[in-house]
Structure 1
Amino acid sequence: MPNPVTAVPPAPAAEVAAHYARRLAFETDCADVHAAFGPADGTTGDPGFVLLDVRGPALYARSHVPGALNLPRGKMTPRRMAEWPAGTLFVVYCAGPHCNGADKAALHLAELGLPVKVMIGGMTGWMDEGFALAEDA
């Protein structure tokens, strides 16, 4: 007798693989971002992307992911984004799963023709992982 899990059969393995490969092209997670930056002080050099905190300046000043730059979506103008070399990957995050600011920023950057991923979990995910935060003095 089927239950809520087995009532709908799973997709074929090839379809599952394609789905998750595609999904990973759109997002990354807090643990992968943390690993890319290396030690808590972010001294490993270039992680291969620019991490953007898309929340407002006051929240960013209170606490943010080490290595992140504060750039709310409204400030992501073509002129501002041209400050980075062509092909730069941007990883965006906001407050957490309850906030769609990172999705809106990712959409905006993609509409500007820029490579972008969302750091799923945002600040909530970062803190849930127990990773250190930075704050402006």
Structure 2
Amino acid sequence: MSVVSAILAAEPQQAIDHFSHRLSNETDCDDVASAMKAGEQDFVLLHVVGSPAAYERRHVPGALHLPHKEIDQARMAQWPEDTLFVVYCAGPHCNGADKAALKLARLGRPVKLMIGGLTGWEDEGLPFATGKEPGSIAG
């Protein structure tokens, strides 16, 4: 018996529940890029860490810079209550996106974390935007 099979796999329903739960809270860089390239962006993408200068140097195309520390009820009032937010930070070593997601959820807002953040985006070979504006991803 290998170390992989030493602990039995979950029953199918338990696995369904587990992975459904994860996917309801997370998305990945490729899914975000694919939705944007297809013109199916039904979410607001938020770059939730770093200074304005860091955002200007490199961010995911289409992302708005809204540091997690600035997320509050008044700031979020510009979007309808049912707006889905996708948040990301620098990468797996950063918990800024988790902090932003928690704040948004506490405000009653739908939210998903883009796993990998900037590091994951780069690992996928996806393009970055620069400058003060969100920019867009090429189709």
Shared fold (TM-score, shorter chain, > 0.5): yes
Q: Match of 1:30?
A: 29
Q: 1:63 aligns with which of 58, 61, 79?
A: 58
Q: 3-state DSSP class of the match of 2:119?
A: helix
For the pair 1:52 / 2:51, whether they are aligned, the reply is no
CA distance in 2, matches of 1:55, 1:36: 23
Q: 2:131 aligns with which of 127, 130, 136?
A: 136
Aligned length: 131
Shift of 1:8: 0.5
Q: Match of 1:8?
A: 7
Q: Match of 2:93, as an amino acid?
A: H
Q: Match of 2:124, as an amino acid?
A: E
Q: 3-state DSSP class of the match of 1:108?
A: helix
CA RMSD after TM alignment: 1.2
CA distance in 1, matches of 2:18, 2:77: 32
Q: Match of 2:79?
A: 84
Shift of 1:3: 2.1
Percentage of pairs with the same residue? 56
CA distance in 2, matches of 1:52, 1:37: 14
- Give runs of ≥4 in structure 1 deviating > 4 Å: none
Q: 1:111 aligns with which of 89, 102, 106?
A: 106
TM (norm. structure 1) is 0.92
Higher RCO, 1 vs 2 (CA within 8 Å, ≥6 residues apart): 2
Shift of 1:58: 2.1
Q: Which runs of 5 or more structure 2 residues have no equivalent in the other structure?
A: 133-139
Q: Which runs of 5 or more structure 1 residues have no equivalent in the other structure?
A: none
CA distance in 1, matches of 2:14, 2:118: 32
CA distance in 1, matches of 2:89, 2:53: 13
